[in-house]
A = this chain, B = another copy of it.
Amino acid sequence: MKLYTYWRSQATFRVRIALNLKGLTREDVVINLDRGDQFKPEYRQENAQAVLPTLYDGDAKLFQSVAILEYLEEKYPNPPILPKDLLARAWVRGFALINVADSHPLIVPRIRNYLTDVLKVSEAQRTAWIQHWLGAGLQAMEDLLAEKKSTGKFCHGDSPTIADICLVTQVTPAQLFKTDVAPFKRVMGIYERCMAIPAFADAHPRKQPDFEGH
């Protein structure tokens, strides 16, 4: 597998975790988002949206992190990252989408840049924006975990699923942007249990060879 990656891309973080959980090895190609490497013609040929990640499985090109997670689950089913029961699968996917569709899209670089460059908002307003939307997603996750009648060590059951992967990519930027995560006790309990697993810990932004600090 060949993964176009950058240490602090949360969408790529999701794919790194899934590859690690499934024991799939990869070669990394670093696209420096801070330097704007994603806009170079070479990368645009790989990914018309100029976003990360792009994954090659042999000659097959894959894009959009959730589509990649579903593909990995279908092609490399063991260990599974979705439960078998249809309703449980729907819950896990719905939970994951709180991060993927309702929170993360609001804080990616192109949005932060638009807020600053076009709307001319202040640094404080921009930080408040980021913290507001990450906090709203964390609250929704906390509420969903509270209303769930039975759970295990992870969001659903005793092994990690796509829900846990996306819980982690909700918490990590929240910590980076200094959102108060303390009120979200169920979420943070699961986060800690995930981070005790090498597949998660090794995929963390800080553990990537291209990590530059912040």
Contact = CB atoms under 8 A, between A and B. Distances in A.
A193 to B, nearest CB: 22
A147 B64 contact: no
A64 B97 contact: yes
A153 interface: no
A106 B144 CA distance: 23
A49 B98 contact: yes
A196 interface: no
Contact of A60 (B87, B96, B111): B87
A112 interface: no
Chain B CB within 10 Å, residue with most, of A51, A71, A144? A71
Contacts of A49: 98, 102, 140, 143
A48 interface: yes
B64 A98 contact: yes
A184 interface: no
Interface residues of A, number: 44
Contacts of A98: 49, 64
Interface string A100-128: 11101110000100110011010001001
Contacts of A29: none
Contacts of A64: 93-94, 97-98, 101
Contact of A70 (B62, B90, B102, B125): B90
Interface string A4-23: 00000000000000000000
Nearest to A51: B102
Given A49-B102, A60-B90, A71-B90, 16 more contacts: A60-B87, A62-B87, A66-B97, A67-B94, A67-B97, A68-B90, A70-B90, A71-B89, A74-B89, A101-B104, A105-B106, A106-B106, A114-B132, A118-B128, A118-B129, A119-B121
19 contacts: A48-B144, A49-B102, A60-B87, A60-B90, A62-B90, A62-B94, A63-B94, A64-B97, A64-B101, A66-B93, A67-B97, A70-B93, A74-B89, A97-B100, A114-B132, A115-B119, A118-B125, A119-B119, A119-B125
